[in-house]
Amino acid sequence: MISVLVAAVGVLGTALGAGLTAVIAARAESRRQAALEREQARKELMQKDNQVLDLRVEHFRWRRERRQTAYLEFLQALAAADRANLQEFRTLKAATPPEPFAVERIAEIRRLFKHAEQAGDLVLLEGPDQVAAATHELILQFGTLVQAVRDFAEAHSGSADDLPARVQTIEAIGERYLAARLELIRGARVALDEIIDIR
């Protein structure tokens, strides 16, 4: 009977040991599974963050390219208008009064200036504020310069006595225009080189 009791205790001990081992193994498996799930969730979150980061980088690249295109188109349009305006001024300055008022040339300068203003509107839209303000100032200065050359052409056609004073005025306005142009270029360069925090 003792041998049966010893055998029963042995079987019971083995069963308890197996049960305890199964419980410990199940707990370990549960912890391992939870750790895997946490790792998977972390990976998914990182993947979503990377996708958002990629979208932000792509948006920033797109915005920079749009700004660069807008700035370049504006400066090119303004340069074309400036060349025409400067050519008219030089022609008048070199001519002996009275020089007939060149309606076609003045109209072409005005058309080129309007085109530059339209290109400037896109710069105002794209920004940033510093570049928009510099663009606005540059358009104002160039508009003043165009008007001064037009007034000079009208005065030149009438042989006005104040032509030398008008030349000095136009040259002073031209200096302010060039300073405003440099200010815009500086601001545009800073805006294009801007590094943003994309996180």
State yes or no: pLDDT of 160 exceeds 80.
Answer: no
Percentage of the chain modeled with pLDDT above 70: 95
State yes or no: pLDDT of 21 exceeds 70.
Answer: yes
Mean pLDDT of the chain: 89
Q: What is the pLDDT of residue 197?
A: 60
Q: What is the pLDDT of residue 196?
A: 63
State yes or no: pLDDT of 198 exceeds 70.
Answer: no
Local confidence band at 60 (pLDDT 50, 70, 90 cut-offs):
confident
Q: What is the pLDDT of residue 57?
A: 86
- CA dist 11 and 3 (Å) reads 12
- CA dist 197 and 56 (Å) reads 10
State yes or no: pLDDT of 133 exceeds 70.
Answer: yes
State yes or no: pLDDT of 92 exceeds 80.
Answer: yes
CA atoms within 13 A on the CB side of 55: 6
Q: Which domains does the chain have, with CATH numbers?
A: 63-193 (1.20.120.230)
Range 164-198 burial, b when 16+ CB lie within 10 A, else e: eebeeebeebbebbeebbebbeebbeebeeeeeee
Local confidence band at 39 (pLDDT 50, 70, 90 cut-offs):
confident
Q: What is the pLDDT of residue 10?
A: 73
pTM, two decimal places: 0.76
State yes or no: pLDDT of 159 exceeds 80.
Answer: no
